């Protein structure tokens, strides 16, 4: 089906596939090298290499488009991290194209946009780095945002294809066109995906963040109990949870506030949100409002994220509001 974003989708899929190949090489290593960022979260050579490849590919095709991405090259210029940069350089030259270390740092910093722009991309080169380090789930998330509206969303989930029912590892959506799943192999079959039609909350399957620091597991458990959900939650890292809901392998994804004053970053949600919505699902915050991607790097107008198959949304939202309100009242 033709649409106005054919070029953006084609380029986006190509660069995500290229980045995924590098991530797979790094994850297969026994102990990938890690740096600790200022917030104590880990970053690997794959995070930097993935961002470099994607930002470079986007810039080649859309040089005027700003990119809001998670990483920057500042730490790579420090003397103690010279070996880290050399490894990134070797990865890109072996699996993407020849470039100097300075060029690679420039590619990474192409993702340094801070403010909202009428047309922009947002990128998480590896969403779920801790899952990546455990050799479990992670996602490469890319989205095109125009006038604050999601237009193209792509999730590369290299490990999901080994564990989900369909074997799919690449998910994408275009606004008004639909959501689709395929494999990282360019010649693989593409299929349109849809959320489940589950209306009975007791039969619902839900997933949440693996890390309790990302989402309140206690409140999620209370919501599940209130709704009569007896199945244990599927806890996996990254926006792979959005892919599970969009593909009909889960009905609910809850990301409930775990830190006072914390705002979600747009790169942690943009790609997945559009895929779920185009698959027929619903995404809102705890107030029932759509996520607002017009405030720059953060979702400053939203608190919490509720993702469902749509049919269950009102029920899940009401339960989540009741549980979080009671938790706040209890101090």
Distance between CA atoms of residues 77 and 107, nearest Å: 14
- At 87, list the tokens: 């490894």
Pairwise CA distance, residues 224 & 275, whole Å: 24
Tell me the backbone φ, ψ of residue 207, rounded to 5 degrees.
-130, 160
User: Does residue 122 have an active-site annotation?
Assistant: no
Residue 111 tokens read as: 């993702």
Active site residue 282: no
Give whole-number Cα distances, 279 to 10, 170, 256, in Å: 20, 14, 23
Residue 316 CB burial class (10 angstroms; 0-12, 13-18, ≥19): buried
Phi, psi of 60 (to 5 degrees): -65, -40
* CA 254 centroid distance within chain: 14
Per DSSP, the residues of 229-253 read --SPPEEE-STHHHHHHHTTS-SEE
Q: Output the CA torsion sign for 319, 321, 323, 324.
A: positive
Q: Which of 44, 122, 129, 196 is catalytic?
A: 129
- Cα angle 27-33-34, degrees, rounded to a multiple of 5: 105
Distance between CA atoms of residues 88 and 90, nearest Å: 5
Could you list the active site residues?
47, 129
């Amino acid at each position: 089906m033709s649409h106005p974003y054919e070029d953006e989708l084609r380029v986006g899929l190509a660069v995500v596939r290229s980045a995924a190949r590098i991530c797979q090489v790094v994850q297969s290593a026994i102990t990938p090298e890690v740096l600790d960022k200022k917030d104590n979260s880990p970053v690997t050579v794959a995070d930097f290499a993935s961002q470099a490849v994607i930002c470079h590919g986007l810039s080649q095709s859309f040089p005027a488009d700003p990119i809001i991405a998670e990483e920057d090259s500042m730490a790579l210029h420090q003397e103690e991290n010279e070996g880290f940069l050399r490894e990134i350089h070797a990865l890109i030259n072996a699996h993407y194209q020849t470039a100097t270390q300075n060029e690679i740092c420039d590619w990474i910093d192409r993702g340094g946009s801070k403010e909202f722009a009428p047309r922009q991309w947002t990128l998480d080169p590896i969403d779920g780095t801790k899952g990546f380090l455990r050799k479990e789930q992670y996602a490469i998330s890319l989205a095109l945002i125009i006038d604050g509206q999601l237009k193209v969303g792509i999730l590369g989930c290299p490990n999901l294809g080994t564990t989900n029912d369909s074997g799919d590892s690449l998910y994408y959506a275009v606004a008004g066109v639909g959501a689709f799943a395929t494999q990282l192999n360019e010649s693989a079959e593409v299929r349109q995906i849809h959320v489940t039609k589950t209306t009975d909350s007791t039969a619902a399957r839900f997933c949440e963040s693996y890390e309790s620091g990302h989402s309140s597991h206690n409140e999620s458990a209370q919501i599940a109990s209130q709704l009569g959900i007896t199945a244990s939650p599927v806890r996996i890292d990254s926006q792979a949870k959005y892919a599970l809901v969009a593909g009909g392998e889960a009905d609910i994804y809850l990301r409930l506030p775990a830190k006072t004053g914390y705002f979600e970053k747009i790169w942690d949600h943009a790609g997945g949100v559009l895929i779920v919505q185009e698959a027929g699902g619903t995404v809102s915050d705890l107030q029932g409002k759509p996520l607002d991607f017009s405030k720059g790097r953060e979702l400053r107008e939203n608190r919490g994220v509720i993702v469902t198959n749509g049919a269950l949304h009102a029920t899940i939202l009401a339960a989540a509001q009741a549980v979080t309100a009671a938790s706040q009242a209890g101090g």
